[in-house]
Structure 1
Amino acid sequence: MVNRVPGFLLRHRVRIEPYLGDSAYGPRYGEAAENVPALVAETVRMVRAPDGREITSTAQVITAPGLDCPPGSRLTLPDGRITTVISVARHTAPGLPVPACTEVSCE
């Protein structure tokens, strides 16, 4: 059984609007998920975008596994700043005593 990241560690709340694709009028987003428990670190680091480009990430967000947040989604940080998701990493370690989580890197 895979352990989940403990809820008491997810001290922040974020809002996520999942990216659905582009339309003739610009990007389309799904229904917003409000008050998603998360742990937010606003640090600058380089990440690789899905197309292979290196991009500067200014915020990294850890959430429980199973989050619906594809690259391109809109994410509102606890301070109200709206940012775009660059990449999503799903961390699991079946059989090991470490928690599973989803890591989201944002512009």
Structure 2
Amino acid sequence: MTALPAWLLRHTVTVEPYRGSGAYGPVYDEPAAAAALVAETVKHIRDATGTITVSTAQVYAGPDLDCPVGSRVILPDGRITRVLTVATHTAPGLPVPASTEVYCE
């Protein structure tokens, strides 16, 4: 299985993976930079709870992106957003690239 070609990933985002909640609120892992393609468009989506909500940024990255729902993402323009839902795309045995699609607030 192949990953998205590097030449498509024109942006860099910083992801702080959500690890749960602690005594003082949400707990995040260390920030990590990731190559991605960012589309800042408004879309109606269903979040992890099934509620219809609005996503204002979509991030497309390689299949190994560590970005669970609730993570913080710093977009290329410096805006900090939160992950609403994540979709992993794979097609074993087919000549299409695997990817991770992240919908952000």
TM-score above 0.5, yes or no: yes
Cα drift, residue 84 of structure 1:
0.1
After the TM superposition, which segments of 4 or more aligned residues of structure 1 sit over 6 Å from their partners? none
Matching of residues 11-26 of structure 1 within 5 Å: 11-26=10-25
1:29 is matched with which residue?
28
* Secondary structure of 2:37 counterpart: strand
Gaps of 5+ in 2: none
- Sequence identity percentage: 61
1:92 is matched with which residue?
90
Cα drift, residue 24 of structure 1:
2.1
RMSD of aligned alpha carbons = 0.8
Gaps of 5+ in 1: none
- TM-score, normalising length from structure 1? 0.95
Cα drift, residue 51 of structure 1:
1.1
CA distance in 1, matches of 2:59, 2:9: 10
Matched length? 105
Matching of residues 49-68 of structure 1 within 5 Å: 49-68=47-66
- TM-score, normalising length from structure 2? 0.96
